[in-house]
Structure 1
């Protein structure tokens, strides 16, 4: 695999977890050799990356010819002896034209992380802000749209240098490939949501896994939700506030801790705010009350965006811990009568996905699926009661609003499992 010039030090190519994810993401490949194309001993240029003209086909063809004898020498002897061996050349392709690192820091739970601004390919210059973790470098934890500060016209935009630009955050659009499908799941309860807004009641949502907070901000600013976010690393919350515009206040509450453990503690309460005798002594009643008072009434939607921290599984979500039956039951208990559980799913294999579907169908009444269309993510929506897909917007102002702020395609292609 040819590493893009000046990206040799990117965690994707310079860490064991990055190597493993590249290998797992290359079906049929059991031995992967990474080759840097830097010249004159030049490896990187500070925190700045710009795509090189040396990625052109003519340059690549020359490079492959020059490298072929070396690759033949590195082949296992039993393979080399066969003769006429064809060595496939892979290239790492993504949409990044240039990038600049804004901050590198370390969280007590997530480890090393970085915030970067990137320019991506498109018909017009387009910029994003991203959060990535070293433990899973090939996975973008958070991505939001950013635009140059006011005063930059088309002429100025064409000459804009990413390392010198000042950007404003655009929190009104979801650019991460699975966030819009997660929000589209709300269409399954759009009738009840319409009743909430007609009664001047703000629906409540719980987000387990905050990251940069793009989902929380969107639910609050665009759809009028009250949102509680649980994040286990305080450094991640600081990054979310400083770089991604997450603002805690009346409509967004943030809780520091393990989302799965907190969910189980909150679920210990019944409708009368009382712990069952069998668990009261073991759970610590006062501690549970603290969580219950923070979260208040039950949630209409729980959205889970938790990736696996085990790089040996490759890129995978949700974390295996969330698939335990007691956790799924705790989520169900924490939902209101019309509530839904929405999961971002990146299945490492078919058996993982089948197991997840089986576990959810064993706890919830209905299960729906949205294919995110990127060949990687799926969204599963589990409901406490039977729900029906309705695409009619004539009498539902909430559904009209929902389709106006996300792609209506995701709403139209929800599939019942």
Structure 2
């Protein structure tokens, strides 16, 4: 892969852009045509999945003001995910203010008020640059038709609380954000993001200003309290809805029901199970730095869950050789991703659905227990094969369509489900939407 070089290291020859070179990434700076004393950073990425059988398509994107240092726009991995989210694009040209590689900490962002026509004027001034950076195989009409893609999200403001490096997940950051929902209502969130997939929010919880205010307080200087009894990530509520399949013996237990969660992240699911539903929770997280972040910023502590720092598969196999009836779990929940820069976000890792792992999972569950796993399939074949592997080991299989594309929650039962349930609709609906209970389908 061709990596970027600084302007001082190379004299840029635009002829290198005449053809598509899959996975090539080059960045450079030029004077801003609307303000020559300032520099623009230009980054050009060719798709790793470009087909030589079709004419290349090009798109350009202007980096939102004040977001230049965000990993989404300042890293190759962020650039790649933006490109892959635009259908059939062979080359993405990203243009934004140059930050000279440095910024004050904490990094603070406020959505700017852009004057009408400002972006359009800049696009017109940059059109010759986009033409020069387009493949020579494009016709004049195709070059004139190169779109400037608009990036929009619901982030109103954000502040980075900490950046760190984990031995397994790499660079990550904790940030507080103010978001604006579709109905115009603004809320505050605390998020965990990994640099390897900067466009993906790994963990998120709701935070609330400690002092009531009629106006929206600033992120910096405001003290927040954590709201741990609400699930924010869209797939977590369906995972909890799966508890409606647990046998009625749960309601008759003298001790707390037991949950094993593999993949902790910020710990939002673990905290919810303990605080809202009264579970005894055990967690497994491979990266100790992620666990530190969860404890420091997301309110996870030993009173909520007992967490082991270990590879989830190794933990499960080891536990399966030593557990007895008193140490088995009522539910096993798995939330692990298999991040691939080209495939994007997929879950779970293929290693986790090997037959010996599934057998170990069944072993650590009580006879009425369930195995719940978050699935984001890269394709239909993967999902069908995954379901086949589960059917070989477990008695019954259910799914919930999360409703945001290829995301499903898969539920496998150790034995046949009882017609009664320990977690009834009345128990669960105060905490999660009833639509997810209605969405459970046997497959």
Structure 1, 335-344 or 319-328: larger mean CA deviation? 319-328
1:108 offset after TM fit, Å? Answer: 1.6
Structure-2-length-normalised TM-score: 0.80
State the secondary structure of the residue aligned to 1:53: coil
State the secondary structure of the residue aligned to 1:239: helix
Match of 1:4 among 52, 64, 73: 64
Tell me the equivalent position of 2:162.
103
Structure 1, 131-140 or 73-82: larger mean CA deviation? 73-82
State the secondary structure of the residue aligned to 1:9: coil
Check conservation: 2:260, 2:332, Cα contact below 8 A. Answer: yes
Higher relative contact order (CA 8 A, sep 6+): 1
Q: Deviations over 1:184-239 (max 9, x none)?
A: 111122x42xx323332311110001111000000001001111000111111111
Seen in structure 2, the aligned counterparts of structure 1 residues 164 and 316 have a Cα distance that, compared at 3 Å, is same
Check conservation: 1:8, 1:44, Cα contact below 8 A. Answer: no
Tell me the equivalent position of 1:291.
none
Question: What's the RMSD between the two structures over aligned residues?
Answer: 2.4
Structure-1-length-normalised TM-score: 0.84
Q: Is residue 253 of structure 2 the alignment partner of residue 199 of structure 1?
A: yes
Check conservation: 1:8, 1:43, Cα contact below 8 A. Answer: no
State the secondary structure of the residue aligned to 1:362: helix
State the secondary structure of the residue aligned to 2:342: helix
Check conservation: 1:72, 1:80, Cα contact below 8 A. Answer: no
Q: Deviations over 1:342-364 (max 9, x none)?
A: 11112223332222222222322
Q: Which runs of 5+ in 2 are unaligned?
A: 1-60
Richer in helix (by share): 1
Pairwise mapping of residues 134-283 of structure 1 onto structure 2 (< 5 A)? Answer: 134-149=195-210, 151-154=211-214, 157-158=215-216, 160-189=217-246, 191-192=247-248, 195-249=249-303, 252-269=305-322, 271=324
C-alpha distance in structure 1 between counterparts of 2:176 and 2:419, whole Å: 38
Seen in structure 2, the aligned counterparts of structure 1 residues 65 and 402 have a Cα distance that, compared at 3 Å, is same
C-alpha distance in structure 2 between counterparts of 1:91 and 1:171, whole Å: 34
Tell me the equivalent position of 1:58.
117
Pairwise mapping of residues 10-409 of structure 1 onto structure 2 (< 5 A)? Answer: 10-36=70-96, 38=97, 46=105, 47-54=107-114, 58-80=117-139, 85-122=144-181, 123-149=184-210, 151-154=211-214, 157-158=215-216, 160-189=217-246, 191-192=247-248, 195-249=249-303, 252-269=305-322, 271=324, 297-387=327-417, 398-409=424-435
Q: Deviations over 1:125-148 (max 9, x none)?
A: 310000111122122111000000
Q: Is residue 438 of structure 2 the alignment partner of residue 412 of structure 1?
A: yes
Richer in strand (by share): 2
Seen in structure 2, the aligned counterparts of structure 1 residues 226 and 86 have a Cα distance that, compared at 3 Å, is same
Seen in structure 2, the aligned counterparts of structure 1 residues 198 and 115 have a Cα distance that, compared at 3 Å, is same
